[in-house]
Amino acid sequence: MNTTTATVTAAPAPTPAIQKEREAFYGRADTQSLAPLWTRLKSLVPAAPTPAGVAHRWAYAEVRPYVLESAAHISAAEAERRVLILENPGLKGSSQITNSLYAGLQLIMPGELAPAHRHTQSALRFIIEGSGAFTAVDGEKTPMQPGDFVITPSWTWHHHAHEGAAGTDAPMIWLDGLDIPIVALFNSTFREDHAQDAAAVTRPVGDALARYGSGLLPVGYRHRSLNSPVFNYPWARTRDALHALTLAGAPDAHAGHLMRYVNPIDGGWAMPTMATMIRLLPAGFATLPYRSSDSMVFVVVEGSGALRVGEQHFALHPHDVLVVPGWMAHTLHASSDLVLFSYSDRVAQEKLGFFREQRG
Ligand code: GTQ
């Protein structure tokens, strides 16, 4: 029904003659690179987010063989980064998992090195399986262990290597999350290859965690990065914190026991463009519906259960990766204690003032 007020009256539909004149005008305006807003206003400025991409699950049991097979086709050195991109089936050809973010599964085999480079995109790593590999970021090596959340800040040199012996040690697989589409939106992409395969390592292993991630800070320390100075949040600590929470009280009805990875300098998010969180849903717990304006990527860390997005139902098993487009209400159900890592562009939306969420 059309709304009629003192100032807003529904316009009568244009006659074919008027419509023809308008089309002719649009054609002439186009020669001056001009276009009418009024034919596009509702789609340019919709009442609520229009779905970008689809909800989807990459079942780890199904995609793992492909990730491993990639090693038969190309080395980490030749590929530079041997990654299978998790491309949203609703965003084919975009290399995007959401409207604003990228995801991929990276594989490094024992003895391999992925050479040092740097770029303006920020990367997060969530370690899925394996042992014996490290990433070196801005002069510090950190071993990667399943469940660790690792940050590669914008424009920091980084390389990855597996120190295990070929044939005896396990391959290492992790999820890469990058803000490639955000940086592309601003067309501010820069990259540089390091002169050496491995950039210089100047600090001992564990240095950043000891200095900045122990509830302490060096006196007089001046922080100069937009990222947390802690660049590996080890799973052992995260798991202990989550399980302590289960003893302390009831989970949030819409989210479970939900925690965010924090920058110890200012209490903000750990990264400037990607918000990272971890949650635990106790066995038998089901959340009430929740939606937010950020499209979310989930990784199942432990346990099993289900994710419902509208009419869609996805069973959840360890290491599955899922995407929920923004503003789609969803619920989670835990069959066993269920731990989920997630990342989204929420931190960027909050800074720019348009993040929204709705419970129920
Ligand atoms: O490890 O530096 O998945 O530069 C995509 C681009 C990983 C990386 C990706 C990258 C990297």
Residue 158 CA: which ligand 1 atom is closest?
Answer: 2
Ligand 1 pocket check: which of 106, 176, 321 to mutate, most ligand atoms within 8 Å of Cβ?
176
Check pLDDT > 90 for residue 6: no
Check pLDDT > 60 for residue 3: no
Instruction: Establish if 26 belongs to a structural domain.
Output: no
The range of the structural domain enclosing residue 161 comes to 56-216+223-359
pTM over 0.75: yes
Instruction: Establish if 34 belongs to a structural domain.
Output: no
Distance between Cα 223 and ligand 1 center (Å)? 25
Q: What is the pLDDT of residue 2?
A: 47
Instruction: Establish if 4 belongs to a structural domain.
Output: no
What average pLDDT score do residues 142-152 get? Answer: 98
Q: What is the DSSP string of 268-306?
A: SBSSSS-EEEEEEE-TT-BPPPEEESS-EEEEEEE--EE
CB 124 within 8 A of CB 117: no
Check pLDDT > 70 for residue 268: yes
Tokens of 126: 């969530």
Ligand 1, pocket residues at CB < 6 Å: 81, 83, 104, 106, 119, 123, 158, 176, 178
Residue 152 CA: which ligand 1 atom is closest?
Answer: 2
Q: How confident is the model at residue 1 (pLDDT cuts 50, 70, 90)?
A: very low
Instruction: Establish if 158 belongs to a structural domain.
Output: yes
Three-state secondary-structure class, residue 16: helix
Q: What is the CATH number of the domain that holds 181?
A: 2.60.120.10
- Residue range 284-307, pLDDT digits in tens: 999 999 999 999 999 999 999 999
Distance between Cα 203 and ligand 1 center (Å)? 23
Q: Which of 249, 250, 268, 257 is nearest to 347 (CA)?
A: 268
Check pLDDT > 90 for residue 113: yes
Distance between Cα 176 and ligand 1 center (Å)? 7
Instruction: Establish if 338 belongs to a structural domain.
Output: yes
The total number of structural domains that make up the chain: 1
Please state which of the ranges 154-168, 195-209, 304-318 shows the lowest mean pLDDT. 154-168
Q: What is the pLDDT of residue 168?
A: 80
- Residue range 221-245, pLDDT digits in tens: 999 999 999 999 999 999 999 999 9
What rounded mean pLDDT belongs to the chain? 96
CB 159 within 8 A of CB 198: yes
